[in-house]
Amino acid sequence: MVYKKYTNKCGILLFLTMIMVFFAYGQKEPQYTQYMYNIGSFNSAYVGTVDKTEIIGLYRAQWIDIDGAPRTFRFGANIPLANEKNGLGFNAISDQLGPISQTYFDLAYSFQVNVSDDVKLSFGLNAGASVLNVDYTKGDFENPEPLVFDDQVNKLYPMVGAGTFLYADNWYVGLSAPNFLANLSTDEDVIALIDNKIQANFIGGYVFDLSDSLKFKPAFLVNFLEGSPLNINLSTNFLINDVFTVGAAYRWDNAVSGLAGFQISNGLFLGYSYDYNTNALGQFNSGSHEVILKFYLGSGSGNRNKRQKTQKTKGKPKQIDTPRFF
């Protein structure tokens, strides 16, 4: 039977992907508080699961008042293809920390299969490159080592990653490793500046319909980094009248956050978050700010991820679409 063949293929692909994820190596990825709206940046399997083409812009300013603190900018796109089984994605991410900056570029491809009538499983691959730039003239260094680097370092190295994403209309779980080639570098400059450690991301969420006008979504993101404690992110969001979003988040032993969002129009979403550090670093900075803009293009390619509800219009029931909320 066709369904049995698909099921067997799903098992093989999932098994191979898990092996790649847990034995993959890569540098630590940028940190996001609004990860639930930014899944395509670290999980290539997500890019084809959306109904409409999404264009995303994100800016994160971390640890305000600390010179050289991290600054992250992301421009990305998630593009579903007409057959509703494939998708393409694009990411350009700039991550800056003191004199070090990295710029990532990658393309992603995803393919999904039906696990059941309501559940789909997506597999993704991404490939690209990272440009590492270090300008030691931007910082003052006490007791510097004998000169190891030139005043500036500019290096280009490849990136390859993989991910899986299992979802229905009201829940999802995903596992990914955005890059597992960094450990293959033989360049001494890159090896000295980049963490060649396992980086895997496990994400999930569920949408509860509390009423016709109120939805509640708890979500989580766990980052696995070899040799480091788990980075655990927990969040709760309420969606009011399919327009306003308000919530809170907690990064384990690190920060608490407030989140807010506004569906400005059918084609535009604005989200904002503020982090306050709960560790010792909190006394030295004024928190972190993150802003995300999502543009939705086109009329969609089906109802693969739309949630529907019935609304009466002039006494007649009418089926309308509501946002998936992830």
> Is the pLDDT reported for residue 159 higher than 70?
yes
Which of 20-24, 218-222, 296-300 is the least confident region?
Answer: 20-24
Q: 232 by DSSP, 3-state: which?
A: strand
pLDDT reading at 189 higher than 70: no
Q: Is 3 exposed, middle or buried (0-12, 13-18, 19+ CB in 10 A)?
A: exposed
How far apart are alpha carbons 61 and 95 in whole angstroms? 10
Does 55 fall in a domain? yes
pLDDT value at 153 more than 90: no
Is 36 part of any domain? yes
Q: Indicate if the pLDDT at residue 195 is higher than 80.
A: no
Indicate the pLDDT class of residue 147, thresholds 50, 70 and 90: very low
- Are the CB atoms for 172 and 166 separated by under 8 Å? yes
Mean pLDDT of 210-232: 91
Percent of the chain exceeding pLDDT 70 equals: 73
> Could you identify the residue written with the tokens 């999980």?
43
CA 89/CA 106 separation, integer angstroms: 8
Mean pLDDT of 153-159: 84
- The pTM for the full model equals 0.81
**Could you give the dihedral angle defined by the CA atoms of residues 37, 201, 32 and 78, in that order, rounded to the nearest 10 degrees?**
-40
Q: Cβ distance 197 to 28 under 8 Å?
A: yes
Separation between Cα atoms, residue 249 and residue 31, nearest integer Å: 14
Is residue 147 a part of any domain in this protein?
yes
Most confident of 110-124, 180-194, 301-315: 110-124
Residue 225 domain flag: yes
What digits encode the pLDDT tens for the residues 297-317?
976 544 344 444 444 444 544
Confidence of residue 151 (pLDDT cuts 50, 70, 90): low
Quick check: is 12 in a domain? no
The average pLDDT across 115-127 equals: 95
Helix (H, G, I), strand (E, B) or coil at 317: strand
pLDDT for the residue 99: 84
Condensed to tens digits (0 to 9), the pLDDT of residues 33-77 reads: 999 999 999 999 999 999 999 999 999 999 998 888 899 999 999
Residue 130 backbone dihedrals phi, psi, to 5 degrees: -125, 135
Over 60: is that where the pLDDT of 318 sits? no
pLDDT of residue 282: 82
Pairing of the two strands 231-240 and 152-167: unpaired
**Assigned domain for 250 exists:** no
- For the ranges 41-50, 128-137, 217-226, which has the lowest average pLDDT? 128-137
What three-state secondary structure class fits 281? Answer: helix
**How many of the other CB atoms lie within 10 Å of CB of 280?**
7
Distance from C-alpha of 261 to C-alpha of 244, rounded to nearest angstrom: 6
Mean pLDDT of the region 196-217: 90
Q: Give residue 179's pLDDT.
A: 85
Residue 271, pLDDT above cutoff 50: yes
Interval 231-235 mean pLDDT: 95
Average pLDDT over the chain, rounded to an integer: 81
- State phi, psi for 293 to the nearest 5 degrees: -120, 130
Asked if residues 164 and 45 have their Cβ atoms less than 8 Å apart, the reply is yes
- The residue behind tokens 């800016």 is 59
Does residue 243 lie within any of the structural domains? no
List the Cα angle 13/16/20 in 5-degree steps: 135
Per-residue pLDDT for 241 more than 90? yes
> Quick one: what percent of the chain has pLDDT higher than 90?
54
Per residue in 75-90, is it b (16+ CB within 10 Å) or e — as a string?
A: ebbbbbeeebbbbbbb
Pick the closest to residue 112 from 136, 154, 81 (CA basis): 81
Q: Which domain CATH number covers 59?
A: 2.40.160
Q: How many angstroms separate the Cα of 239 from the Cα of each of 105, 212, 256, 260, 266?
A: 32, 11, 20, 10, 15
| Mean pLDDT computed over 321-325 | 59
Q: Write down the pLDDT at residue 84.
A: 80
Q: Which residues span the domain enclosing 190?
A: 27-236
What value does the mean pLDDT take over residues 318-325? 52
d(CA 63, CA 66): 6
pLDDT at 178: 87
Gap between the terminal Cα atoms of the chain: 33
Would the pLDDT of 270 be above 90?
yes
Is the per-residue pLDDT at 320 higher than 80? no
Confidence at residue 280, expressed as pLDDT on a 0 to 100 scale: 84
The tally of domains found in the chain comes to 1
Asked if pLDDT for residue 11 goes beyond 60, the answer is no
In a domain, 140, yes or no: yes
